[in-house]
Every structure is written in C-alpha cells, then in structure tokens.
Structure 1
C-alpha cells in the first residue's frame, strides 16, 4: 500500500494542530490568560517547525539503520 504525499501532509498538519491546541490548553489552565496561552502556542509551533526541519536534516546525514 502506497501512502500519498497529501495524506502525509494531512497527518503532519493534524498532528501539529493537536500539539498546538494542547499547548494552548495547558498554558491557559495554568495561567488563566488566553493571550499568553495564544502567544506561547504560536511561538511553540514556529520553533517546533524549525527544530523538526533541522532534526530531519541531521538525521538525513546519519547512515545508521539504512540498507
């Protein structure tokens, strides 16, 4: 069974949305401040996209586990 690029993109998008919502909810529960929760969720998303990109680029150079 072949997985399409659009399916992979949809899964990545939904995963990121749920992660961002989780961050928002946790910060809001702890602080009670919707503006702070929104700011943290936004920056968390931006930073994690960058971290994921570099993580993938580094792993692309690792030969371990490839055949």
Structure 2
C-alpha cells in the first residue's frame, strides 16, 4: 500500500513500458528457476551432485545476461494496437 506508487514508478516508465529494473528482476527470478532445473537435469544425467552444481553455477551468469538482452530487444520492438490490426484486415 505505502510502497505501491514508488514501486510502480520503479517498474514502468511514462510510456507504460517495463523499466530496466523490472527487466533485471525478471531476469534474475527466471534464472533462479532455470538454474534449479539445470542442476536437477545435470544430476540425473551425470549422477554427481557436485558436477550438477558446477554446471548450474556456470550457466547462471551467462543466461542472466542473455535473458536481459532478449527482454530489452522485445521491449523495444514496435507494438501494434488492436485498432491497427483491424484496419489491416478491412
């Protein structure tokens, strides 16, 4: 309640697009899920927990950066409005 407005300002800009901070937090949270998945799969493939942790720790940093860049590219892509798509088919 008290933090509602400051958080909205942090996570979106005037044009309604996601902010860099929101994209970064989404990147980190998604990587946590992805890294747990990688560790589990690596454990089943190798049968070694230490090896699975090693694989998971290596991929986490590269994929945070890749996801962040991916998110920013998609955020900068032009968006079509519902009215624009209806005019195309008219």
TM-score bin (small chain): 0.5 to 0.7
Structure with bigger helix share is: 1
Instruction: Flag the 1:60–1:40 CA change in 2: closer, same or farther, 3 A.
Output: same
Q: Is 2:42 the counterpart of 1:35?
A: no
Q: Structure 1, unaligned stretches of length 5 or more?
A: none
Matches within 5 A, 1:1-67: 4=7, 9=25, 14-65=29-80
Deviations 1:19-65 (A, max 9, x none): 21111011011111222211111122111101111112212321133
Instruction: Flag the 1:66–1:60 CA change in 2: closer, same or farther, 3 A.
Output: farther
- TM-score w.r.t. the length of structure 2 is 0.51
Q: Give the whole-Å Cα distance in 1 for the aligned partners of 2:33 and 2:72.
A: 24
- TM-score w.r.t. the length of structure 1 is 0.64
* SS of aligned partner of 1:52: helix
Structure (1 or 2) with the larger CA radius of gyration: 2
The count of residues paired between Structure 1 and Structure 2 equals: 64
Instruction: Flag the 1:43–1:13 CA change in 2: closer, same or farther, 3 A.
Output: same
Q: Structure 2, unaligned stretches of length 5 or more?
A: 11-21, 83-90
Poorly superposed stretches of 4+, deviation over 6 Å: none
